[in-house]
């Protein structure tokens, strides 16, 4: 027996596919509108947060692999927003001030490639528009760094006020708990004393002089004598002592070679930028005297090894961290921050784009 099977009408099939597509698209759109947090009385949706992640620079975008990574990334975003809001208010009240020049200086240490002076763009196959774009990007990055500095200055102001007015107390149990968490990083920093010869500038002549200065110091010549030998290059003697504090990024170039250096070792040549010396005037005021940027070679004259801090020695540092956490809790409450854990997106939606 032959049965005449009727093929479905093409128009009906197309309509079904279209409806399915619309339902699917609507489902995706609905997922993007799911509220995952609140901030300042406004909802933060999955779509909002997805845009935040996508708009981040590749070197700043968080690595998201787990649900915990999603929450941490969201927390960091919300915390940045409340710090910015706090800084804006304090800046308007003239209670904090951060010069933009400080942000530029810090960015020069962190991302020196942004400040390369290109005299002949055509040598690098760059157009004038490319050079203009690079300059615009540099200004944007400086402003971003400036905002971060102002945000931290705002929190610092709140901490200082809380300490001054006795609004916050820290119990022994809080100190002990924070100490246990951070014990491994609570140390007296390695310190290195040195006598160095600094040749200002970064020309080929200065770089060649740096190698010759190293040779002379390695041979046993006194730094004072070597500085005199290179007086025609305005070389000067520097006697100083540095601690290996990673937060002092301007001295990172020294520690790339100077870490674990022993008495009598020669460190360098290194290019230094933004170094300062502490000077005390007749009134006892301490000011920063900048050293010229240039090539430095050092003879190590003393060192102190890194040693762990006790709980009591760590309390000033622990106090700051504990109070910082308390101030952030205050700012979250003031700004109505709330995270809806059950609504957080699946981390898989981020792993394919990282």
SS3 187: strand
47 assigned to some structural domain: yes
The closest of 206, 186, 183, 192 to 256, measured between CA atoms, is 192
Q: Please tell me whether residues 259 and 313 are part of one structural domain.
A: no
Residue 39 and residue 334: Cα distance in Å, rounded?
10
Q: Please tell me whether residues 159 and 47 are part of one structural domain.
A: yes
Q: Please tell me whether residues 320 and 177 are part of one structural domain.
A: yes
Q: Is the pLDDT of residue 14 over 80?
A: no
Q: Please tell me whether residues 110 and 205 are part of one structural domain.
A: no
Phi-psi region of 90 (alpha: psi -120 to 50; beta: other; left: phi over 0): alpha
Q: How confident is the model at residue 280 (pLDDT cuts 50, 70, 90)?
A: confident
22 assigned to some structural domain: no
Residue 245 and residue 230: Cα distance in Å, rounded?
31
146 assigned to some structural domain: yes
Q: Which of 274, 293, 308 is the last residue of a domain?
A: 308
Contacts within 8 Å (CB) and 24+ apart, 168-174 = 168/323, 168/326, 170/319, 170/322, 170/323, 174/322
Q: Is the pLDDT of residue 283 over 90?
A: no
| Cβ-Cβ contacts under 8 Å for 346 (sequence gap 6 or more) | 67
100 assigned to some structural domain: yes
> Among residues of the chain, what percentage have pLDDT more than 70?
91
| Cβ-Cβ contacts under 8 Å for 37 (sequence gap 6 or more) | 43, 44, 49, 74, 78, 337, 338, 339, 340
Q: Please tell me whether residues 304 and 353 are part of one structural domain.
A: no
Distances (CA, A) of 135 to 140, 142, 205, 332: 9, 11, 29, 36
The closest of 223, 235, 201, 203 to 267, measured between CA atoms, is 223
Q: Please tell me whether residues 317 and 303 are part of one structural domain.
A: no
pLDDT of residue 8: 47
Q: Please tell me whether residues 43 and 177 are part of one structural domain.
A: yes
Residue 244 and residue 344: Cα distance in Å, rounded?
40
Residue 60 and residue 148: Cα distance in Å, rounded?
13
Q: Please tell me whether residues 164 and 313 are part of one structural domain.
A: yes
23 assigned to some structural domain: no
Any idea what the CATH number is for the domain that residue 125 is in?
1.10.4030
**Residue 176 in contact with residue 311, Cβ under 8 Å?**
yes
Q: Please tell me whether residues 226 and 323 are part of one structural domain.
A: no
Q: Please tell me whether residues 239 and 152 are part of one structural domain.
A: no
Q: Tell me how many domains the chain contains.
A: 2
17 assigned to some structural domain: no
Q: Please tell me whether residues 106 and 228 are part of one structural domain.
A: no
Predicted TM-score (pTM) of the model is 0.64
Torsion sign (Cα): 202, 207, 208, 209:
positive
Query: 166 is in which domain, residue-wise?
Result: 30-183+309-354
Q: Please tell me whether residues 44 and 88 are part of one structural domain.
A: yes
340 assigned to some structural domain: yes
* Per-residue pLDDT tens digits for 294-307: 999 999 999 999 99
236 or 276, which is more confident:
236
200 assigned to some structural domain: yes
């Amino acid at each position: 027996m032959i049965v005449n099977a009727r093929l479905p009408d093409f128009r009906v099939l197309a309509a079904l596919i279209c409806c399915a597509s619309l339902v699917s698209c609507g489902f995706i759109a609905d997922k993007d509108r799911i509220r995952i947090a609140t901030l300042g009385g406004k909802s933060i949706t999955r779509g909002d947060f997805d845009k935040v992640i996508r708009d981040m620079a590749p070197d700043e975008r968080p690595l998201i692999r787990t649900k915990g990574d999603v929450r941490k990334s969201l927390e960091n975003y919300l915390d940045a927003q409340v710090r910015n809001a706090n800084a804006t208010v304090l800046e308007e009240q003239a209670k904090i001030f951060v010069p933009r020049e400080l942000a530029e200086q810090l960015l020069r240490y962190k991302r020196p490639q942004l400040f390369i002076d290109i005299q002949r763009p055509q040598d690098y196959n760059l157009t004038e528009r490319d050079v203009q774009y690079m300059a615009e990007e540099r200004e944007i990055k400086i402003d971003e760094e400036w905002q971060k500095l102002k945000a931290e200055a705002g929190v610092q102001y709140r901490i200082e006020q809380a300490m001054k007015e006795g609004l916050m107390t820290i119990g022994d149990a809080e100190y002990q708990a924070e100490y246990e968490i951070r014990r491994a990083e609570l140390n007296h920093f390695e310190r290195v004393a040195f006598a160095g010869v600094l040749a200002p500038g970064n020309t080929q002549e200065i770089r060649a002089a740096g190698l010759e200065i190293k040779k002379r110091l390695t041979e046993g010549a006194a730094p004072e004598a070597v500085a005199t030998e290179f007086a025609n290059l305005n070389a000067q003697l520097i006697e100083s002592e540095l601690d290996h504090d990673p937060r002092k990024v301007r001295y990172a170039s020294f520690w790339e070679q100077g870490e674990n250096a022993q008495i009598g070792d020669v460190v360098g040549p290194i290019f230094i930028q933004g170094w300062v010396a502490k000077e005390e005037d007749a009134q006892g005021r301490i000011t920063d005297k900048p050293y010229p940027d240039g090539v430095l070679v050092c003879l190590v004259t003393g060192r102190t090894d890194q040693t762990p801090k006790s709980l009591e020695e760590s309390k000033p540092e622990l106090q700051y961290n504990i109070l910082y956490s308390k101030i952030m809790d205050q700012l979250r409450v003031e700004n109505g921050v709330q995270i809806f854990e059950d609504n957080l997106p699946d981390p898989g939606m981020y792993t394919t784009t990282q």
